[in-house]
Amino acid sequence: MAALPSLLLPLLLLLLFSFSADATHTPRTLHVPVLHRDAVFPPAHTADAARYTAQLASLSSTTDSDDQLRSPVISGLPFDSGEYFAIVGVGDPSTRALVVIDTGSDLIWLQCAPCRHCYRQLTPLYDPRSSTTYRQIPCASPRCRGVLRYPGCDAGTGSCVYMVVYGDGSASSGNLATDRLVFPEDTHAHNVTLGCGHDNGGLFESAAGLLGVGRGELSFPTQVAATYGRVFSYCLGDRMSRAKSSSSYLVFGRTPELPSTAFTPLRTNPRRPSLYYVDMVGFSVADERVTGFSEASLALDPATGRGGIVVDSGTAISRFARDAYVAVRDAFNSRAAAGGMRKVAHNFSVFDACYGLRRKETVRVPSIVLHFAGGADMALPPANYLVPVQGGDRRMYFCLGLQAADDGLNVLGNVQQQGFGVVFDVERERIGFAPNGCST
């Protein structure tokens, strides 16, 4: 999300020098399960602060086999966010923190006491003065001067100062430091470099901060690569599901691949080296290949930095070059009309292809398949591209959940990724997609 435009949509109701963090009580993989939002955020009419605290506390006792590490991850739907969240402990004694999982950025940061400017968060505020393992990083440290894009220095303390600004205008600034991250089953990652944010604002409402899992030196997977390797995977569960349980997950380390996993080459953009790029080669709608656009707009051009597709957990809605989006939208509209779907004349926010469905009406929804280089395909379930939106007349409409991009930055968002097992394998330079990945 760091370098990406703001795509967080409240209407949907819905994250040099090498160094590494040390880990103790180390399993072979670091496994972060995804729990349903009601496990942490019960429906509003039954929720109160005491119940939130008790439910959050109970999540830290999640158990599994000795070679896995679990910590809750949930959908941001109940507090109008299009993101997914993990719960980790920070410091010693640890403070429980709800953090955005973001493959589009690197820095791990949390709101810190004392706060000069902080937004409301649901978990307790992290106070580094209460942590025996908190250490500020000096201005002269390679972690400050060699890694931060915009390093600063606190003249009074000699400590490194960071500042990060996201594409949607959200921002955080404070001291760069190290502390431990704590996961269930008493597994700790020590000496993790993170930002202690005293001035924060933007669209991070409710979260304590951000867990950056990009490709840069400051990202969490890079910092624990000596222990788990440079590979992680996740499955982001159905954001609209009312089920009480979920088998969704976030895992750091190599795990057995699902037989259905299809891999596409991982590309590197010299102008945005921290992002996970892949090449798309086209789309199919209703089993027919979409034509009428330039495939070059979907392929990465390393010379200009344009094109390619960023796989991003911190962006909700996918966006594609305008000519490609228009071609897909028009093909979908044509097939939808043939299947009895009635397109409405007006738009809803960023969506310009929306449909009204009557009760007990039977329609045929056109299928959509995304084609990636190397033969990897994502056949999207309808829930991954038809977004429910409530209109001003209080009726529910369904919109084609894609956007046009005019800045050369194409994104595969988490709405389209939901339900797929996604493997980020930097070691083997590939990204994999497995349908029904949350069921395993």
Q: Catalytic one among 238, 279, 312, 425? A: 312
What is the per-residue pLDDT across 280-308, written as a single tens digit (0 to 9) for each?
999 999 999 999 999 888 999 999 999 99
CB-CB contact of 38 with 79 (8 Å): no
- Which of 248, 137, 145, 139 lies closest to 196, judged by CA? 137
For 410, counting Cβ atoms within 10 Å of its Cβ (0-12 exposed, 13-18 middle, 19+ buried), the class is: buried
- The class (CATH top level) of 10-252 is mainly beta
Active site residue 312: yes
Task: Write down the pLDDT at residue 50.
Answer: 39
For 249, counting Cβ atoms within 10 Å of its Cβ (0-12 exposed, 13-18 middle, 19+ buried), the class is: buried
CB-CB contact of 146 with 138 (8 Å): no
Task: Write down the pLDDT at residue 60.
Answer: 38
Which residues are CB-contacts of 213 (< 8 A; sequence separation ≥ 6)? 15, 101, 102, 103, 219, 220, 221, 232, 313, 424
Question: Across 56-124, where does the E strand assignment appear?
Answer: 73-75, 84-90, 95-102, 109-111
CB-CB contact of 89 with 97 (8 Å): yes
Task: Write down the pLDDT at residue 1.
Answer: 64
DSSP letters for 164-188: EE-TTS-EEEEEEEEEEEEETTTEE
What is the per-residue pLDDT across 195-235, written as a single tens digit (0 to 9) for each?
999 999 987 778 999 999 999 999 999 999 999 999 999 99
- What is the token pair recorded at 98? 């709800």
Q: What are phi and psi of 77, to 5 degrees?
A: -50, -45
DSSP letters for 272-295: STTS-EE-EEEEEETTEE--SS-G
What is the per-residue pLDDT across 98-114, written as a single tens digit (0 to 9) for each?
899 999 999 999 999 99
What is the per-residue pLDDT across 373-409, written as a single tens digit (0 to 9) for each?
999 999 999 999 999 888 877 788 999 999 999 999 9
Active site residue 168: no
Same fold, 10-252 and 262-439: yes
CB-CB contact of 388 with 398 (8 Å): yes
Which residues are CB-contacts of 175 (< 8 A; sequence separation ≥ 6)? 112, 136, 137, 154, 157, 159, 160, 161, 162, 195, 196, 198
CB-CB contact of 13 with 98 (8 Å): no
Q: Catalytic one among 102, 238, 279, 352? A: 102
Which CATH fold topology does 262-439 show? Answer: Cathepsin D, subunit A; domain 1 (2.40.70)
All residue ranges of the chain with pLDDT < 70 are 1-27, 32-82, 184-185, 239-247, 360, 440
| Cα distances (angstroms) measured from residue 275 to each of 221, 236, 268 | 13, 19, 8
Could you say which DSSP state residue 424 is in? Answer: E
Which residues are CB-contacts of 28 (< 8 A; sequence separation ≥ 6)? 67, 253
- What is the token pair recorded at 48? 């109160």
Integer Cα distance of 387 and 398 in angstroms: 5
pTM: 0.86
Which residues are CB-contacts of 293 (< 8 A; sequence separation ≥ 6)? 321, 323, 324, 326, 327
Q: Where are the domains of the chain?
A: 10-252, 262-439
| Cα distances (angstroms) measured from residue 62 to each of 6, 59, 69 | 34, 6, 9
Chain center to CA of 401: 17
Task: Write down the pLDDT at residue 22.
Answer: 55
- What is the token pair recorded at 183? 């996961």
Degrees (nearest 5) of the Cα angle 387, 421, 410? 55
For 195, counting Cβ atoms within 10 Å of its Cβ (0-12 exposed, 13-18 middle, 19+ buried), the class is: buried
**Three-state SS for 212?**
strand
